[in-house]
A = this chain, B = another copy of it.
Amino acid sequence: MPTGVAIRDVRDQLFDAAERVLLRDGPSALTSRAVTAEAGCAKGVLHRHFADFDGFLAELVLDRIARFDGRAAALHDSVGTGTLADNLTRTLTDLFGPTAVAIVSLVTSRDGLRARLRRARPTGVPILTDAANAIASYLTAERALGRIAADADVDTLAPTLIGAVHMLFADRQGNPPEAGAVRRTVTAVIAGVEQETPR
Contact = CB atoms under 8 A, between A and B. Distances in A.
A187 B157 CA distance: 10
A31 interface: no
A164, A166, A171: residue with the most chain B Cβ atoms closer than 10 Å: A164
Interface stretch (A10-18, A51-59, A65-73, A188-196): A188-196
Contacts of A170: 108
A105 B114 CA distance: 13
Contacts of A159: 164, 167-168, 185
Given A184-B153, A193-B191, A128 B167 contact: yes
A188 B157 contact: yes
A27 B27 CA distance: 14
Contact of A111 (B26, B153, B191): B26
B167 A163 contact: yes
Contacts of A166: 163, 167
Nearest to A165: B163
Nearest to A184: B156
A167 B159 CA distance: 8
Given A108-B105, A108-B109, A109-B108, A189 B167 contact: no
Interface string A139-162: 000000000000001001101111
Given A109-B109, A166-B167, A189-B189, 6 more contacts: A28-B111, A105-B108, A153-B187, A160-B185, A161-B164, A163-B165
